[in-house]
Structure 1
Amino acid sequence: MAHVQIINSSNSHLFEDLLEQTYRLRHQVFVEERGWRDLARPDGREIDQFDDEAATYLIAVDGDRVVGGQRLYPSTRPHMMSEVFSHLVQRDLPVGPDIVEVTRYFVAKERRFGRTDCMMLAAVMEYCLDEGISAMTAVVEMWWLPRWQQAGFVTRPLGLPVEIEGQDCLAVEILVREETLARVSRLAGLKGSVLRRTGLATDEAALRLSSRQS
């Protein structure tokens, strides 16, 4: 059964193959499929300056194969919205220890618009609740908004749409809510958590999870 593995600097040595698959699948999705040529690399690995020790990855795995993923990054450090897409933000950019940026969301082509997509949305909401995160920021194509609305995501625009790579894109803030996790979990047909914390020190997160469930 597919699950979502949390990977950060403390356990990345255990999951070098999953990270390598992730970078190559990102190249396939963003460069080869979507035509984001500025991200192209001759080694076929899509990787940038934010794939560093501060990044956390939520990687969907089926068997030993990566089928989806997303990257979370602290808003308290220079991040993609503050450094690359600041022109999309026309109000105060949400930053703080309880706010993360979500980037590089992808699902393998044959898994889109199905259970894997909803599972990934549930995973990021569950992770943020477990970690005490109150909001996420993201730059997304406009077609994401009705999908998020269906999944129960509560969003706030941070500016007006701007065309990027032929798509109207928007900077948004996404509120982290228990109700959203419950709704998207139902859509995904999930009976419990899909997150795996193999190799992580999870004492604080486990305490928060226990308090949420009590």
Structure 2
Amino acid sequence: MIHVISASNRHLYQDAIEQHFKIRHEIFVEERGWKTLERPDGREMDQYDDDDTIYLLAMDEGKVVGGHRLYPTTKPTMIDEIFPHLAAVSGCPSAPDIWEWSRYFIVPAQRDSDLNLRLMAAVQEFGLDEGISQVSAVIEMWWMPRFQQAGFALKPLGVPALIENAWTIATLIDINESALWTVQQMVGKASVLKRHGPQRRHVAHSERLRSSPVERLLLA
């Protein structure tokens, strides 16, 4: 299952969080060669790992095997502060119902499994549960056909640029029932998320965001 980890239940996942920081260092710094992220303690973390960060971590018998994180765009984000040139056409997203999606990883031993599809399903399922309408992401171009095959609708924020020797683009990805259904059919599971411990909604007015157009008019 993909575990939802936030500030409210992080005390139940201290070991998993530490595992995932070390795995991120192994993958992004040691394997991918992103030396700007290197740290002497072998933990890859940055200013977007704070109490507002939501981690969706895949675990197998207590071991972290994959995951990604979500961060509110109402705060400074990676696209704002590090990659604004990638959003030169449409601007940097900032809204309560848009969250930044980053640090997508899978350990080498799981890369031939269906974990990639389950992680895709997780962001759609969590987003729909929380009233998130879109996620923003900086992705390498080869990801685009993979997401599109899984039913994801992507809207580029600008033109691609060469970053860390890879053509990269900033995009908005829609969170919707159609994409969730498509990827669920591919993975063969109705739900991939596990919520443990105290939980709260992370998106302001999420029920209003999820309501129908008629309900939104009545609430306005």
Same fold (TM over 0.5): yes
Match of 1:74 in 2: 72
Aligned equivalent of 1:35: 33
Structure 2 match to 1:84: 82
SS of equivalent to 1:15: helix
Please, which of 47, 58, 68 is the counterpart of residue 56 of structure 2? 58
Aligned structure 1 segments of 4 or more residues deviating by more than 3 angstroms: 202-205
How far off is 1:203 after superposition? 7.3
Q: Which residue in the other structure is 1:23 paired with?
A: 21
Distance 1:12 1:32, change over 3 A: same
Asked if the contact 1:115/1:189 (under 8 Å) is kept, the reply is: no
- Aligned-pair CA distance for 1:87: 1.3
1:6 aligns with 2:1: no
- In the TM superposition, residue 32 of structure 1 has moved relative to its aligned partner by 0.9
Mapped pair 1:109 → 2:108: yes
CA distance in 2, matches of 1:7, 1:198: 8
Number of equivalences:
206
Please name the residue that 1:129 is paired with: 128
Q: Could you give the per-residue CA deviations for residues 144-183 of structure 1, whole angstroms, max 9, x where no partner exists?
A: 0010111010000000000000000000000111010011
TM alignment of 1:143-158, pairs within 5 A: 143-158=142-157
TM-score, scaled to structure 1: 0.92
| Partner Cα separation in structure 1 for residue 94 and residue 156 of structure 2 | 15
Q: What is the rounded CA distance, in whole Å, between the counterparts of 1:204 and 1:59 in structure 2?
A: 17
Check the 8 A contact 2:130/2:201 in 1, yes or no. Answer: no
TM-score, normalised by the number of residues in structure 2: 0.89
* Letter matched to residue 4 of structure 1: I
Residues 84-105 of structure 1 deviation map (CA, whole Å, 9 limit, x = unaligned): 1111112232221100000101
Secondary structure in structure 1 of the residue aligned to 2:4 = strand
Q: Measure, in 1, the Cα distance between the counterparts of 2:77 and 2:11.
A: 24
Unpaired runs of 5+ residues, structure 2, are: 212-220
Q: Percent identity?
A: 47
The answer to whether the Cα contact below 8 Å between 2:8 and 2:200 also exists between their aligned partners in 1 is no
Kindly indicate whether the alpha-carbon contact (under 8 Å) linking 1:151 and 1:183 is maintained by their aligned counterparts in 2. yes
CA contact (8 A) 2:137 2:171 kept: yes
